[in-house]
Chains A and B, each alone.
Chain A
Amino acid sequence: MNMAEEQRVGEVIEASTTDFVAQCYELYQSPPLGSLVKTRDLDMELYGIVYNATTTSFEPGRRPIARGKDETSEEAIYQASPQLLKLLKSEFGALVVGHRQDDKLHHYLPPKPARIHSFVYLCPPEEIKEFSQSFDFLNILLTTRLPVSPEELTAACLRQMSQVYEDRRAFLVAAGKELAVLLSGQFNQLKAILERIKV
C-alpha cells in the first residue's frame, strides 16, 4: 500500500494487548470517534477503533486556566499566548479489534501489543471496506469495558464505516442483523444501537 495515501494521525505512546494510546502531532487533530486506525509492527499491522480522545496539559499537575476575559474571540486567546499550543496535547485511545499478519486479515487480538512510537494512520476507504467485510469485530466492541458505553462506540464505528459504502443502508442493515444475533437476549441494548445508526 502506498504510504503517501495514508494519513498519519499520531504516534503510539502507551500500549497494551487490548488497546493503545496515541498522541496527535497537532493539537485537536485526533481522528473521529469510531474511526478505524492502524499501526505497524515489524511484520504485522494492528487495527484499532478510536474509542476515546482527550486534550490535557503536558504536566499532570498543571491545569489550564481561563484566559479569555479580556479577549474578543477564542482565536485571540491562542494568538495572545502562542505557548499554549506547546503546553497542551491531544491524545486518543484505540481499541485493538484485529490485525493483519502474512497478508491475512484477522478479526481478533494480535499476539503482541503495538510498539511505542509506532506511527498511527487513518485507514483509507479501501481498507475500511476490506476490514468491514466481516462483522466479527463487533463482538470485541460490545464486550470490552471502556469509558464510553459500548452502544455509543458501536454505533459511532458503524456510522464511520458506512460512509465509505455507496449503499450505506445495505451496510447498516447487514450490521444491524449481525448485532441482532449478538444481542439476542438484550433487546434494549440492540434498540439503543439501532436508534443511533438508523438511516
Chain B
Amino acid sequence: MTEKRLGIVTSGSLTKGVEVRLDSSASVEDMAVGRYVTIEGQKQRFFGMITDVSLGVIDQKLTLTPPDVSDPFMAEVLAGTSTYGTIHVSPYLTIGGNVASLIEGPQSVKTVPSHFSTVNLASQRDIELVFGGEDEKRFYIGTPLDMETKVCLDLEELVKRSNGIFGKSGTGKTFLTRLLLIGMLQKGTAANLVFDMHSEYGWEGRSEEGRKVKALKQLFPSKVAVFTLDEESSRRRRVSTDFVVRIGYDEIEPEDIGLLRQTLNLTEASVQAVYQLYREFGSKKWIEATLELEDKDETKQLLTKLTIHDSTYRNLRRGLETIRRLPFLLPHAPDNPVKHILEYLDQGINVVLEFGRYTDVTAYILVANLLTRRIHAQYRERMEKALGEDVAPPHPLVITIEEAHKFLNPEVSSQTIFGVIAREMRKYNVTLLVIDQRPSGIDDEVMSQIGTKITCLLDNERDIDSVLAGVPDKSGLKSVLSRLESRQQALIFGHAVPMPMVIRTREYGSAQSYKAFIPSPETSQRAEKDIENLWE
C-alpha cells in the first residue's frame, strides 16, 4: 500500500501535540478526528492520532475580502497556498527506527518530531505493528475508521484490571460487551459472571432495528450456563436455563440493606436500626422476625430497648416489605446459588444471571451485591490459600455489572463489594467489567482504578470529564470522544492498549460474524495445511 502524504509538521510540543500543515493535495474535508497518522522524523517514526482539524490563511486580508472562489481556477490556486488546512496530531508512540523499538515494539513518545517532518496517513502495516494481529491472546474487536485492518485487544492484559464500557443509551454498549465477553470466552482468559439486568447476554437479544441477535449461550453452548431469577420469563423466551436462583431471607445481611438505602428510600437511622435488629434476632432470621413484629406493646418495648424511634421502624418496615415482595426471595432457599455459580466458574464455565422481569434496581442491586460478596469471600480465601500452600490460584474471574453508578456512586461505593473489587480485588484475580451510561455518577476513586476504558459516544460534559480524567492530552481526546458516531464507534484507551484508539466495532449479528467467533475444526486444519505447504 502506498503511503498517503498529508503534510508537514510545522510546530508543536509534547504536551500539546503537533500542528501539521496540510499539503494542497490533502483536503481538510477528507480528514477526520480519530484517524491514525505516522510522522517520519529524522531518527524515528512517530505514530499518532488526529485530534483536531482547523483552517488557516496566510494573509488576514483574505478573511476580510474573500476571493471569488466560485471561479474554480482561483479556488484551486488558493487551496493549500494562501488558504490551507491544519490538523492537530497527538503523537503517542514511536515505532521502528531505533533499536529499542525494534526489539520491544512500539514505545511511548518522549519527544516530538523535528520541524517539517513528513506526515502520512498510517498504513495497514503500521496499524498491525501497533495493535498487533489476532492471535491466541489478542481478540479482534474492530477496525480503525476508514480502514480494513484489524484492531486487536490483548485480553490477558485486559482482565488484569477492572474495565469500563461507557456510552449514552443506544450507542452500542451491549454489543460491545457481548463482543468482549465472546472474546474472553474464545480466548479462555477469564471466567465471566454476568449480572444480566435486561436478559440480553445469555440468550437472544434484539438489535435496535429489531433483528434477532444471538448471544453467548447460543454461540458457545458448552461454555456458558444461564441462571435465571425469573423462570417464567426465561421459559417464555425459550431459553434453556441451567439453574433457577432462589434466595433465602436468611442470606440477606445488613450491608445489603445499607446499599439499598437510596432505592428503598430509607433514612440513615433505619440503616442503623437494621444492625441492631440483626444483632437482636440473629443472622438467620432477622428479616422474618422484624416483619413479624406486630403493633403491640411488646414491640414498643423492644424498640425502646433498642433505641429505635417509631418513625424509623416504620420507614424500615416499608423498605423490607418492598424486598419481601420480590418473588425470588423465599424465607428459606432450597439451594445455595453461590455454591452453584462457583462450581460452574471453577470448571471454566461462564455464568449469565438473567433477571427476567425483575429489572427494577432494587432487585438488581440486592442480588448482584449479595452474590458477589460471597463469591468475593470465596475467591479471597482461595487466593490466600494458593499463596500459602503453593496451589494454583483460582481462574481469573470477571464480574460484569450494568448500571454501575448505582453500585459505585460516591455514597455507597465504600460499602458495596464492587467498590472493594474495583479497588483491590485485582490481587485476588477478580476484576469488574462495569457498564454504565452516566460515568460521572461513579466515584472518582473507583474510576481512577479502571484499567481500560471503552467508551462510545458521550455528550454530557461531566460524563466526558469523568471518563477522561487523568489522561494525557485530554482536550484532544475530548474532541474525538464527543464526535464519535452514535453507533458502532468507540474510543478505547488505558491499560490494555498502547495508545488511545477509535474503532469501528466489529460486526456482530450476521451469520457470518457468528462463524468468525467460533473456532471451527476446518480453520485449524487449513492452518496446518498452510504450514505444511510452507515447508515443502
Contact = CB atoms under 8 A, between A and B. Distances in A.
A88 B74 CA distance: 43
B74 A181 contact: no
Given A180-B82, A181-B81, A173 B73 contact: yes
Contacts, number: 43
Interface in B43-69: 58-59, 61-62, 65, 67
Contacts of A188: 61
Contact of B77 (A173, A184, A185): A173
Nearest to B84: A180
Interface string A158-191: 0000000000010011001101110011111011
Given A177-B24, A187-B59, A187-B62, A199 B82 contact: no
A198 interface: yes
B77 A194 contact: yes
A146 B62 CA distance: 28
Contacts of B59: 184-187
Contacts of A172: 73
Given A184-B59, A185-B59, A187-B61, A177 B71 contact: no
Nearest to A195: B74
Which of B65, B67, B74, B82 has the most C-beta atoms of chain A within 10 angstroms of its own C-beta? B82
Nearest to A176: B77
Interface in B218-270: none
A166 B77 CA distance: 19
Main secondary structure of the interface of A (DSSP, over half): helix
A169 B73 contact: yes
Interface string B76-115: 1110111000000000000000000000000000000000
Interface residues on A, range: 10 to 19
A198 B78 CA distance: 12
B81 A199 contact: no
A180 B81 contact: yes
A177 B77 contact: yes
A194 B61 contact: no
A95 B231 CA distance: 97
Contacts of A181: 81
A177 B73 contact: no
Contacts of B77: 173, 176-177, 179-180, 194
Interface in B22-60: 24, 58-59
Contacts of A194: 73-74, 77
Contacts of A173: 73, 76-77
A172 B74 CA distance: 10
Contacts of B81: 176-177, 180-181, 184
Contacts of B82: 180, 184, 187, 190
A180 B62 CA distance: 12
A121 to B, nearest CB: 32
Which of A177, A180, A188 has the most C-beta atoms of chain B within 10 angstroms of its own C-beta? A180
A199 B74 CA distance: 10
5 contacts: A169-B73, A173-B77, A181-B81, A187-B67, A198-B74
Query: What are the 3 closest A-B residue pairs judged by CB atoms, nearest first?
Result: A176-B77, A180-B81, A198-B73
